[in-house]
């Protein structure tokens, strides 16, 4: 794939006008307050069940926590065995945590697929994505019990005519509630929670950074779910092409579609972030075009009233949506250690 988006010099200053709804903050405040109330006391509703995964250097818990409207969401919590042994001996400081969100169509898979962050000394919460887990990987375990009106295949157009009904309202709420949940786990430092993810997971990372308080860091990689109208205009790749496919049939719904998506746009939610951020972008990425990534990156924390918030972006000039792949971990680990000392 050749370069197809704006030149890098223009991307670095790209600050599009956003069609941000006037009640965006109120919409999310009501959504999160309602789900927190429905989920009850997390000390009682977050359940951990120890799993024997046959691993010596990490311990694994099968986690269930209340997400949107109190509906159950699954996750794996993977922690270093040495930390648990130290805690049992009364000689351990609480662990920093990394909450990870997953790519489009994937699920939490199997515990032994998630060893890196725990091996580096972090508690690692791998959050399932409701209704997904059948597109790639080794499966998911969280249903989405909420129905949808007419939609194109995939997830982007489920509930597309009303932001209250949209699928990603539920998924973003689940993602915020995952942070709430991990902060209640004994042995985890609630003040040192970071969020991360690739593609869809990167988009959820941005959304959570804009909606959850007190995060120590956010690390979105080649993020999805940002600057929807621009994405639809310049790429024909899925998943953004789901929107195009829907509008090609439902020609009369363009205004309603983009109004709904404006409540879910990472470019707007990024402006509300307060945590330091380490992004990545791939300049030949036709799935999540570079300008959609920079729309979120360049606006990071701009509307939060938090002053000068640290941000950095790693640019992969010759990569498509695979981005940095395994090269990301060493970079993220060094960066995150500076923020979780």
- CATH number at 155 reads 3.40.50.1820
> Does a structural domain hold residue 3?
no
Residue carrying the six token digits 């939610």: 269
- Given this model, what pLDDT does residue 299 score? 97
Q: How buried is residue 322: exposed, middle or buried, by Cβ count under 10 Å (0-12/13-18/19+)?
A: middle
Asked whether residue 168 is assigned to any structural domain, the reply reads yes
Residue 2 lies in a domain: no
Does 318 map to a domain?
A: yes
Q: What is the pLDDT at residue 59?
A: 98
What pLDDT is recorded for position 257? Answer: 98
User: 5, 128, 174, 199: which one is catalytic?
Assistant: 199
Q: Is residue 1 part of a domain?
A: no
In a domain, 54, yes or no: yes
120 belongs to a structural domain? yes
> Where do the DSSP E strands lie in the chain?
47-51, 58-66, 72-80, 95-101, 123-127, 188-198, 217-221, 277-282, 311-316
For position 287, what pLDDT does the model report?
Answer: 98
DSSP structural state of residue 159: T
Domain count, the chain: 1
Of 301, 126, 270, the closest CA to residue 208 belongs to 270
Question: Which residue positions in the chain have pLDDT lower than 50?
Answer: none
Catalytic residue, from 61, 221, 265, 285: name it. 285
Q: Is 164 a catalytic residue?
A: no
pLDDT of residue 140: 97
**What pLDDT does residue 269 have?**
98
What is the structure's pLDDT at 86? 76
104 is in an annotated binding site: yes
Please give the pLDDT value at position 312: 98
- Domain containing 330 equals 8-339
């Amino acid at each position: 794939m050749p370069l197809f988006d704006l030149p890098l010099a223009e991307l670095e200053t790209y600050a599009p006008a956003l069609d941000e709804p006037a009640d965006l903050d109120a919409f999310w405040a009501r959504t999160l307050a309602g789900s927190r109330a429905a989920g009850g006391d997390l000390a009682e509703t977050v359940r951990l069940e120890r799993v024997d995964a046959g691993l010596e250097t990490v311990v694994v818990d099968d986690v269930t926590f209340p997400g949107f409207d109190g509906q159950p969401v699954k996750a794996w919590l993977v922690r270093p065995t040495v930390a648990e042994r130290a805690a049992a001996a009364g000689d351990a400081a609480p662990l920093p945590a990394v909450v990870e969100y997953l790519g489009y169509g994937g699920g939490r898979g199997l515990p032994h697929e998630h060893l890196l962050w725990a091996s580096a000394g972090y508690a690692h919460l791998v959050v399932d994505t409701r209704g997904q887990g059948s597109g790639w990987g080794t499966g998911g375990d969280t249903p989405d019990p909420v129905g949808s009106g007419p939609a194109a295949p995939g997830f982007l157009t489920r509930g597309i005519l009303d932001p209250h009904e949209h699928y990603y309202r539920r998924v973003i709420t689940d993602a915020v509630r995952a942070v709430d949940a991990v902060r209640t786990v004994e042995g985890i430092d609630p003040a040192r929670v970071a969020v991360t993810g690739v593609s869809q997971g990167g988009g959820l990372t941005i959304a959570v950074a804009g909606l959850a308080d007190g995060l120590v860091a956010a690390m979105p990689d080649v993020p999805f779910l940002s600057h929807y109208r621009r994405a639809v205009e310049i790429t024909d790749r899925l998943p953004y092409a789901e929107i195009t496919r829907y509008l090609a049939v439902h020609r009369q719904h363009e205004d309603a579609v983009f109004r709904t998506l404006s409540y879910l746009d990472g470019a707007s939610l990024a402006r509300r972030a307060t945590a330091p951020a380490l992004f990545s972008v791939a300049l030949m990425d036709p799935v999540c075009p570079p300008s959609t990534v920079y729309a979120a990156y360049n606006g990071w924390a701009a509307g939060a009233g938090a002053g000068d918030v640290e941000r950095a972006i790693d640019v992969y000039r010759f990569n498509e949506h695979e981005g940095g792949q395994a090269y990301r971990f060493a970079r993220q680990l060094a960066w995150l250690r500076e923020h979780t000392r």
